[in-house]
Amino acid sequence: MFAYAARRILATIPLLLVATLGLFALEASVRDPVAELRVSCPKCDDTAFARLTELYDLDKPVLDLSNPANSRYIAWLGNTLTGDFGTSTSQGELPVSDFVWARAKNTMILAVPAFLVIASIAALLGMYSAVRQYSKSDYAITSLSFLGIAMPTFFFGLLLQVFWGIWFHDWTGWRPFFTSQMHDDSLSNLIKSIVLPITTLTLVVVATESRFIRASMLEVIHSDYIRTARAKGLSERKVILKHALRNAMIPVVTIWALDFAALLGGSVVTETIFSWPGLGPLLLSSIFAADVNMVMAIVLFVAVLAIGFNLLADLLYGVLDPRIRIH
């Protein structure tokens, strides 16, 4: 298992290099910060602009194959390997690593409980819908799932804000939940802050995952070994929970791993709508500000999460199904 994990990790290194190089080149070509400063400050001394150009290596190419030491990307890569992600040009010259980690902790406050709610509800709905195939309950769950998939995240988030922040307050004079920002001065206020963002995340992801789990369950419960288990006289509860569900979860583990990595990487739309100080809005603002160091650090963080959780899902296959051997 260790050798398999090592091979998988080594195989992702070229992919990460190509992806980060492409992103670095695109982000670096979006705008020239020194040129914008010249426009905004036409009377400034040229030596100041020259100093900025030298300080941030803006006069060097992104990648110079003939002289790699003269490349901005190689310099960034070397610093990154030592844990130095540079400073942010859009956040007051703060260290990128400190800023990203602070925002990542805020994102985890949403991501971890959201994933637990999503996984629980999706598994229950998908399993129940498969067991009750073509029943009224199945049709109801299917209809609600399609509604959740079709509804834009930003629309549902805004709808929750209008309902709880305006309509419910007009009817009762009470706001049970905060409709924007993170209020962490107390545990109760923090819970009130995360309810609506988590509800927004849950709707879309549960709608998709429940359909996937239903399809996986249907494939399993129509298998020969399930019919054999029923023929042996096992109770339906034992057949479903012990035999069908465990095997149906094998492909679902990958979906859960990738969804959890995506949640940890920051949900741009949801966090932006609710003004949540997470990685999503930070990535968006950094892209518009052409903050190369910040964008690269966030994207690299998300990529490592996706690779790591995908590898974890592959390793869990052997736990769910002993017949699967990882070499």
The mean pLDDT value for 72-101 works out to 86
DSSP code for 69:
G
- Please report which confidence band the pLDDT of residue 276 belongs to, taking 50, 70 and 90 as the band edges: very high
Task: Say what the pLDDT of residue 277 is.
Answer: 93
pLDDT for 80 beyond 80: yes
pLDDT for 144 beyond 60: yes
Tell me phi and psi for residue 115, to 5 degrees.
-65, -40
pTM: 0.84
Residues 208 and 142: their CA atoms lie apart, in Å, by 10
- Secondary structure of residue 87 in the 3-state scheme: strand
Q: What residue ranges define each of the domains in the chain, with the CATH number in brackets?
A: 2-81 (no CATH), 96-320 (1.10.3720.10)
More confident residue, 322 or 183: 183
Task: Say what the pLDDT of residue 316 is.
Answer: 78
- Please report which confidence band the pLDDT of residue 116 belongs to, taking 50, 70 and 90 as the band edges: very high
The mean pLDDT value for 16-20 works out to 88
pLDDT for 106 beyond 70: yes
Burial of 86: CB neighbours in 10 Å, binned 0-12, 13-18, 19+ = buried
Helix count (H) and strand count (E) of the chain? 15, 0
Average pLDDT, the chain: 85
The mean pLDDT value for 283-294 works out to 85
Quote the percentage of the chain above a pLDDT of 70. Answer: 90
The mean pLDDT value for 2-21 works out to 83
Residues 159-205 have pLDDT tens digits of: 999 999 999 989 998 989 999 999 989 999 999 999 999 999 998 88
Residues 203 and 117: their CA atoms lie apart, in Å, by 10
In this structure, are residues 60 and 71 in contact, taking their beta carbons and an 8 Å threshold?
yes
Residues 15 and 13: their CA atoms lie apart, in Å, by 5
Task: Say what the pLDDT of residue 210 is.
Answer: 92
First vs last Cα of the chain: how many Å apart?
6
In this structure, are residues 25 and 63 in contact, taking their beta carbons and an 8 Å threshold?
yes
Task: Say what the pLDDT of residue 273 is.
Answer: 92
- Please report which confidence band the pLDDT of residue 120 belongs to, taking 50, 70 and 90 as the band edges: very high
- Please report which confidence band the pLDDT of residue 66 belongs to, taking 50, 70 and 90 as the band edges: confident
In this structure, are residues 89 and 81 in contact, taking their beta carbons and an 8 Å threshold?
no
Task: Say what the pLDDT of residue 37 is.
Answer: 64
CA distances to 166, 227, 238, 239 from 222, in Å: 49, 7, 15, 12
Buried b (16+ CB within 10 A) or exposed e, 199-216: bbbbbbbbbbbbbebbbb
**Nearest alpha carbon to residue 218 among 127, 320, 121:** 127
Q: Output the CA angle 29-34-40, nearest 5 degrees.
A: 120
Task: Say what the pLDDT of residue 8 is.
Answer: 78
Residues 236-270 have pLDDT tens digits of: 788 888 778 878 888 888 888 889 988 988 788 89
Lowest-pLDDT choice from 9-18, 34-43, 138-147, 169-178: 34-43
Q: What does the chain come to in residues?
A: 327
The mean pLDDT value for 89-118 works out to 89
Residues 220 and 215: their CA atoms lie apart, in Å, by 9
Task: Say what the pLDDT of residue 232 is.
Answer: 84
Residues 108 and 124: their CA atoms lie apart, in Å, by 24
| Residue 86 token pair | 């540079």
Residues 56 and 90: their CA atoms lie apart, in Å, by 13
Which distant-in-sequence residues (6+ apart) come within 8 Å of 288 by Cβ?
none
Q: Where are the alpha helices (DSSP H) in 96-165?
A: 96-131, 136-150, 153-162
Task: Say what the pLDDT of residue 326 is.
Answer: 57
Alpha-carbon Rg for the chain, nearest whole angstrom, is 25
Tell me phi and psi for residue 87, to 5 degrees.
-115, 155
The mean pLDDT value for 37-57 works out to 69
